[in-house]
């Protein structure tokens, strides 16, 4: 942001690289021209096997995305809701027990690391919904598979920081991940048992008419690992930052709580159905505003032009230029946002004036490379936030609120130290 304040919306950060916060240019790069991803993404490829996320080949991407997209269709996601519910209930039970223990010791509030809890919840959800594996993170706090993937994530953030070096480092798939996932997939295929999850859609591609649509086991492994990486911390950190902002803004928290308290659980259920939550204006506004201030890809979205082009009718750019779309800068730029750095969920309500500048806002990116897990993430975030505020009362701890000011970008945006302690107690909940 400092560079943009000093030099404007376009900053030349190296001879062939532009950092951009201009909304029209970003919209052209990501959506209108739908430019290919930049070479940086090759650094993520293991054993030179591309996945949907790291390929820079548009034709390969188109086929892969078409083949896997049924797994992310809204109707299919709805059938995965019971799997999400199961993990949410485990989370509620675990937090309740911790609070009861504190109560037995004479304190109303328990102290909990909310950041870790949310990370464990989203890992348990993605393990179950992506390929039917129970990581049991909420109950046990650890499982070798996410632990190994976490090490790979740290390695990836190193690769992003040093692209020149990373190009020359051979990148191999972790043998533990390969053997674990091969076992899961082979067991599913040989047992013939079907399960309503993402892996099932990938396995079903083997029956596709066209040979290019059939995924080999190695390709399925690479894809599901990407979901695990792309689909856990992104959601958990966004939920975490939502709660941080609500703690900083008690008036917004009260409005959200009112909206949620106005809902009753259906029948004998103890959790909300997503159909009850998806159109709640304030819940959606709170999530949108959090993603505006804390976009997961704060390091920017990189695209490349292979031809000479003109950006937004005003900037001539030569071929082979890389663009870093600085979403954090465009989503918080005073040129595009009224009281730009203020957390103001009201700006997303229908009645808002001025209306939000949607072409400066791409928390899920846009175009053919936009997030395929967007609907999954919304379903998960709405269910989780509504569950937490229905069941629990959360109070800030001053030291944690200080710590939270120090955010870091590893692969996604997070809090330094990946931990955020809060005081938490149980509310009286009518079922
Ligand atoms: C709040 C939650 C999430 C946010 C803000 C988010 C954001 C993004 C962004 C910005 C991109 C573009 C990345 C780039 O260009 O390098 C992306 C891509 C992607 N996301 Fe998400 N994501 C979220 C959750 C998820 C979930 C839950 C899944 C899977 C279950 C997922 C799977 C993917 C995949 C596979 C891609 C690559 C798509 C492609 O290149 O075709 N994401 N996401």
Contact 71, 202 (CB under 8 A): yes
**What does the pLDDT read at residue 371?**
97
Q: What is the pLDDT of residues 32-51, one digit of tens each?
A: 999 999 998 888 888 778 99
- Which of the residue ranges 75-84, 142-151, 390-399 would you say has the lowest mean pLDDT? 142-151
Q: What is the pLDDT of residues 197-214, one digit of tens each?
A: 999 999 999 999 999 999
CB atoms within 10 A of CB 386: 22
The residue-averaged pLDDT of 72-91 equals 95
Contact 385, 65 (CB under 8 A): no
Q: Is the pLDDT of residue 337 over 60?
A: yes
Q: How far apart are CA 168 and CA 199, in angstroms?
A: 32
**What does the pLDDT read at residue 410?**
74
**pLDDT top residue among 299 and 52:** 52
Q: Among 221, 196, 220, which residue's Cα sits nearest to residue 132?
A: 196
- Determine the Cα angle at 178 with ends 172 and 179, to 5°: 140
Which residue of 153, 238, 371, 379 sits with most ligand 1 atoms within 8 Å of its CB, as the best mutation to test the pocket? 371
Q: How far apart are CA 57 and CA 302, in angstroms?
A: 14
Show the DSSP H helices in 132-216 as ranges: 137-140, 144-161, 163-166, 175-191, 198-204
Could you tell me the pLDDT band of residue 383, with boundaries at 50, 70 and 90? very high
Q: Is the pLDDT of residue 107 over 60?
A: yes
Q: How far apart are CA 131 and CA 202, in angstroms?
A: 10
**Interval between CA 264 and ligand 1 midpoint (Å):** 32
Could you tell me the pLDDT band of residue 334, with boundaries at 50, 70 and 90? very high
Q: What is the pLDDT of residues 110-141, one digit of tens each?
A: 999 999 999 999 999 999 999 899 999 999 99
CB atoms within 10 A of CB 327: 26
- 88 phi and psi angles, rounded to 5 deg: -65, -40
**What does the pLDDT read at residue 163?**
63
Which residue of 220, 234, 291, 378 sits with most ligand 1 atoms within 8 Å of its CB, as the best mutation to test the pocket? 234
The distance in angstroms from the start CA to the end CA of the chain is 47
Torsion angle, CA of 425/390/242/413, rounded to 10 degrees? 80
* Atom of ligand 1 minimally distant from the CA of 380: 27
Beta pairing, strands 10-14 & 17-20: antiparallel
Q: Among 384, 417, 427, 425, which residue's Cα sits nearest to residue 115?
A: 417
The residue-averaged pLDDT of 262-279 equals 95
Which residue of 373, 376, 383 sits with most ligand 1 atoms within 8 Å of its CB, as the best mutation to test the pocket? 373
ipTM of the complex: 0.99
Long-range contacts of the stretch 353-358 (C-beta < 8 A, 24+): 356/288, 356/292, 357/23
Both structure tokens of 101: 């223990």
pLDDT mean across residues, the chain: 93
Both structure tokens of 221: 């492994």
Q: Is the pLDDT of residue 168 over 80?
A: no
- pTM confidence score: 0.95
Could you tell me the pLDDT band of residue 147, with boundaries at 50, 70 and 90? confident
Q: Which residues contact 305 (CB under 8 A, 6 or more apart)?
A: 33, 35, 317, 319, 320, 321, 323
Nearest CA to ligand 1 atom 6: 364
Any residues with Cβ below 6 Å from ligand 1, and which?
A: 52-53, 65, 226-227, 230-231, 234-235, 238, 291, 296-297, 301, 363-365, 369, 371-373, 376-377
At the top level of CATH, the class of 3-426 is mainly alpha
* Atom of ligand 1 minimally distant from the CA of 301: 15
Q: Is the pLDDT of residue 431 over 70?
A: no
**What does the pLDDT read at residue 299?**
85
Q: Among 408, 304, 234, 298, which residue's Cα sits nearest to residue 1?
A: 298
């Amino acid at each position: 942001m400092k560079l943009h304040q000093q030099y404007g919306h376009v900053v030349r950060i190296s001879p062939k690289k532009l950092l951009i916060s201009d909304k029209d240019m970003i919209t052209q790069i990501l959506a209108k021209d739908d430019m290919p991803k930049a070479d940086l993404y090759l650094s993520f490829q293991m054993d030179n096997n591309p996945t949907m996320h790291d390929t820079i080949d548009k034709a390969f991407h188109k086929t892969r995305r078409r083949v896997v997209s049924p797994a992310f269709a809204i109707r299919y996601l709805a059938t995965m809701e019971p799997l999400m519910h199961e993990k949410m209930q485990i989370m509620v039970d675990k937090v309740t027990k911790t609070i009861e223990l504190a109560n037995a010791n004479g304190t109303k509030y328990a102290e909990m690391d909310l950041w870790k809890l949310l990370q464990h919840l989203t890992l348990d959800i993605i393990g179950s919904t992506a390929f039917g594996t129970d990581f049991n993170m909420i109950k046990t706090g650890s499982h070798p598979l996410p632990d190994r993937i976490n090490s790979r994530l740290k390695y990836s953030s190193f690769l992003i920081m040093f692209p020149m070096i990373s190009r020359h480092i051979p990148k191999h798939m972790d043998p533990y991940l390969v053997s674990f996932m091969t076992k899961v997939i082979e067991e599913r295929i040989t047992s013939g048992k079907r399960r309503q999850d993402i892996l099932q859609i990938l396995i079903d591609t083997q029956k596709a008419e066209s040979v290019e649509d059939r995924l080999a086991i190695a390709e399925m492994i690479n894809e599901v690992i990407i979901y695990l990486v792309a689909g856990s911390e992104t959601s958990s950190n966004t939920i975490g930052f939502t709660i941080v902002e609500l703690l900083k803004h008690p008036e917004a928290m009260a409005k959200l709580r009112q909206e949620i308290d106005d809902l009753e659980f259906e029948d004998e259920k103890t959790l909300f159905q997503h159909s009850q939550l998806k159109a709640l204006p304030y819940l959606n506004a709170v999530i949108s505003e959090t993603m505006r201030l804390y976009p997961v890809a704060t390091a920017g979205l990189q695209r490349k032009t292979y031809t000479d082009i003109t950006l937004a009718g005003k900037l001539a750019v030569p071929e082979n230029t890389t663009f870093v779309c600085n979403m954090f800068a465009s989503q918080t730029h005073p040129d595009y946002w009224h009281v730009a750095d203020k957390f103001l969920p009201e700006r997303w309500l229908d009645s808002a004036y001025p209306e939000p500048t949607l072409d400066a806002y791409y928390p899920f990116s846009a175009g053919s490379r936009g997030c395929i897990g967007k609907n999954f993430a919304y379903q998960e975030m709405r269910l989780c936030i509504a569950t937490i505020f229905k069941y629990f009362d959360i109070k800030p701890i001053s030291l944690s609120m200080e710590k939270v000011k120090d955010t870091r970008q590893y692969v996604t945006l997070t809090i330094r130290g990946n931990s955020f302690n809060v005081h938490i107690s149980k509310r009286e909940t009518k079922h």
